[in-house]
Structure 1
Amino acid sequence: MTLLFPGGLIGAAAGLGTVLVLARLRRINRPSLELRVLPYLRDVPRLARPALADEATSSPMAAAAGVFGPALRAAAAAVERVLGGASSVRRRLGRAGLDKSVHDFRVEQVLWGLGGFALVAAYCLLTSLGGHGDTVSSLLLCATGLATGVLARDTHLSSQVSARERKLVAEFPVLAELLALAVAAGESPVAALDRVVRRSGGELSRDLAVVLAAVRTGTPVGEAFDRLAASTGVPSVARFAQGVAVAVERGTPLAEVLHAQAADVREAGRRELIEVAARREIFMMVPVVFLILPVTVLIAFWPGVIGLHMTTP
């Protein structure tokens, strides 16, 4: 009789767990409404809508925000209130080519801050276990680690923007020459753009693919290139987009414009390379002065020093 009641409890718990697992598996395996409806809506054009600042996308950071709930959202909102600059962040996200909203970026900043806080807290804990910790200094260090992590994500975004813009500058002359060749061969600007986008890859090709998609959905060619000029942060690409827009609107020779812009970008890159080499000339002398020269002097004078020691009584 004593074993009957615990056995009944264990059996009931096992049965309830089995029912819950089966119900969850049935819900997971059930196709979603999106999968059931989308095959019948593939030919319907998707209407574009403006992205909101607080709209969460389907990124892992948005998933983390959904799992941990109000805590991350409240922390992200607090970071937004303290730092501000949502328009600047949105513009830099676009220039970096990241498909994220400002909300996702703020959540990433919170997670980076929590990572910095955890590292500093672990260090402070080890220090306190060694008997050298102080509560006030530990709290200050943890707060500093939190703020450093939040600001480090913003700095990393700026570095991502700079890296992508360097790739744009490096890819621009080749794509401009390809467009010029296609236009000179008799193709229209849209057909030349389609040919170049299909046969190239890279950051600039992705931006041109966005322009091509806008043109195919009914946007005038000049307006689409004007949007590219307004959104990019690379002056050469902005001049290229504005030149193409003006050439299409006024009927000026587009091939000559593209050849001239590609030549200008190559010349600007050559000048920048010469300037960088001139600035780093001092750094190039560091291994010569501190490594090669001392070894040369040692090789020249060491036999004489040894000879003096051998001849001295």
Structure 2
Amino acid sequence: MDTDRLPGCYRHPDRDTGITCTRCERPICPECMISASVGFQCPECVRAGSGTGHHPTANAPRTIAGGVVAADPHLVTKILIGINVLMFFVALSDPVLARELALYGLYRDYFGGTLHGVSTGEYYRLLTSAFLHTEWWHIAGNMLALWVIGGPLEAALGRVRYLAVFLLSGLGGSALVYLLTEPNVATLGASGAVFGLLGATVVLAKRLRYEMRPVITMVVLMLVLTFVPLGGSLSVSWQAHVGGLITGALVGLGMLMPAAGRNRALVQWGTCGVAFLLAAMVIALRTAELT
């Protein structure tokens, strides 16, 4: 018997956790833990406390990051998957539209024609490309990873903070692609955003004092696979993966490390602002090179 193994959550026994409810001391996983004035409480203790005459806001269910606990903790992940699947079929039916939404630094639509790309002011491509796929293996792999990694992270962060990590990671990955990739090469896919969620998951595991070796192993494995050709007409963009991973880890630190208190939201959204400004600086630098 492995005596070093952490106990399982009382509601999800297959999920090891080092966090316990401060009232009943039952082990609780990120999906079940609710922020309290001191530590975290389980849903049952929060419900019991809300009926004792306490002020309702004092017992409002909160995630480990301070977000509101939602009835469906995976709703945003489902919506993101739905948008990606919808855009996949749109791109298949209209290749011209797909080219208009893909990440290009600079290209000419035909000989002597109009120049297009991020460097011409089409900055929307930095985010639209993160929702665009044109091959089945590409969207299947990304959506599976989004569900496996994103679902638990959304439950731990809350909807708004989780969406911020996803979008900023997608932007960070696109910014590095824009900086380091040939401007007339198309890049698309949610890989940068997914790697960002992975980076934030590493921070979450550290915050909850989980065993880090499985998480680090997953990161290393995904980075190794980044450089292995998967076939098809698209190649894997290591720039998007690395940029997204770094951005997601940075934003995850800001979301998860501050203790509950007045300044936590300021630190969280301040970190998001810093991540956005860093991406904007990279984008501005590359645009200056191409114009």
TM-score by length of 1: 0.25
Structure (1/2) with the larger helix percentage: 1
Q: Which has the larger radius of gyration?
A: 1
Q: Larger RCO: Structure 1 or Structure 2 (Cα < 8 Å, ≥ 6 residues apart)?
A: 2
